[in-house]
Amino acid sequence: MRGNHMAVATLQRSQEQIRFHNIIQQFLPKDQAFLFLGENPKQSKFPAILIFGDSTVDTGNNNYITTPIKANHYPYGKDFPGRTPTGRFSNGKLAVDLLASLLGVKQTIPPFLQPDIPANELRTGVCFASAGTGYDNLTADITRVLPLSQQLIYFKNYTQMLNKIFGKEEAERIINHALVSVSAGTNDFIFNFYDIPTRRTVFDINNYQEFIIQMLHNFIKELYKLGSRTLVITGLPPIGCLPIQITSKFHRRFGRTCVEEQNVEAQAYNKKLLQFLPRIQTSLKGSRIVYADVYNPLMDIINNPEKYGFRETMIGCCGTGLVEAGPICTPVTPLCQNSSEYLFFDSIHPSEKAYGYVTECIKKQILEKL
């Protein structure tokens, strides 16, 4: 019986690897697809991957808290293995799942709040992220989700669990050598500056960007105190191209274009972040802190959709594609026929296919620096 279980597990892993390669080859230009046909995965240089941030990286923690911001219902997860809604805000896997797979760590990353996570899954990393959060504490207050301060508390709890299961020395090795991914910021600007101008009464855009970077600075220092040494910090996407932002600005379905002002401001923030990260790395001895650019890969898809096999980049697959997300992207909401032709699955979040392209770009950006 044990041999049968091992054979089934091996087959499932092989099927997952084939499915992942299919995702990669969907978006790569034909002259690059061969790069993945003969890949020979090696042992990962990272023993674990740890995730902090918002809905772009939340693998299901919001399922276990009281908030309306959830994705634990169909059509979310319709293309996930087993076609199961997991709490991920996409039709399938997120970029962090795909990155963990590309790096040879694991196929998917469990949410820390999931009950009864097996020891081997704890050893190779978990996700602390919460959809709807941001670097600004006010953001999580508005959305009733986990602020980054609470994600740090859960990280401490996780470290204690590793100590108990594997011993202090092994726990420290895992934490010290884990790849830590931090992805947030979009909600801060959407909820607090653009759509609900709470912070606009206190900050201009330049000062708010600097405020957010200071909050990130504080968060990185706390991660460092807890043992993290290798961090990947994701910049902002083209916020003005999110379908919900286009709808909010122009109130129309046809003739849609990105909100240029918001994109310019996202680029300005990213430039500041890119300049800031080397400085904080220098101040934290033994750390490696690298910037992950998601803005340009997404803009490349928007500007050249046919190159990557996309048909629609201005609306989401769910419902009208104009505003539907989370609680209003439901099991009875109509869907597009083929989500792989859409850059966005709902009005905010990319499809799994889009995440596949972003993941490959991030891998190329970070590996040579880590």
Contact assessment for residue 180 and residue 224, using Cβ atoms and an 8 Å cutoff:
no
**In the chain, % of residues over pLDDT 90:** 85
> Has residue 338 been placed in a domain?
no
Which residues pair with residue 350 across a beta bridge? 344
**What residue type is assigned to position 3 of the chain?**
G
User: How distant is the alpha carbon of residue 335 from its chain centre?
Assistant: 23
Q: Could you say which residues of the chain have pLDDT below 70?
A: 1-42
Q: Which of 131, 198, 128 is nearest to 159 (CA)?
A: 128
Backbone angles phi, psi at 141, to 5 degrees: -65, -40
pLDDT of residue 23: 52
> Has residue 280 been placed in a domain?
yes
> Has residue 55 been placed in a domain?
yes
Contact assessment for residue 59 and residue 318, using Cβ atoms and an 8 Å cutoff:
no
Q: How many domains does the chain have?
A: 1
CATH of the domain at 132: 3.40.50
Per annotation, catalytic residue among 136, 188, 346, 347 = 346
- Which residues form the domain of 160? 43-238+258-294+352-367
pLDDT of residue 370: 85
> Has residue 339 been placed in a domain?
no
> Has residue 14 been placed in a domain?
no
| Total-model pTM | 0.89
C-alpha torsion angle, residues 143, 134, 328, 70 (rounded to 10): -80
- Whether 55 is a known active-site residue: answer yes
> Has residue 198 been placed in a domain?
yes
pLDDT of residue 367: 85
Residue 36, CA distances (Å) to 18, 31, 40, 366 in order: 11, 11, 9, 18
pLDDT of residue 351: 99
- Whether 251 is a known active-site residue: answer no
Q: In what order do the strands lie in the sheet with 49-53?
A: 49-53, 179-183, 230-234, 288-292
Sequence-distant (6+) residues with CB within 8 A of 280 are 217, 220, 221, 287, 289
Tokens 């706390």, located at residue: 222
User: How distant is the alpha carbon of residue 99 from its chain centre?
Assistant: 10
> Has residue 283 been placed in a domain?
yes
- Whether 97 is a known active-site residue: answer no
Calpha distance 359→370 (Å, rounded): 16
> Has residue 9 been placed in a domain?
no
pLDDT of residue 252: 79
Per annotation, catalytic residue among 339, 347, 349, 351 = 349
Query: What Rg value do the Cα atoms of the chain yield, rounded?
Result: 20
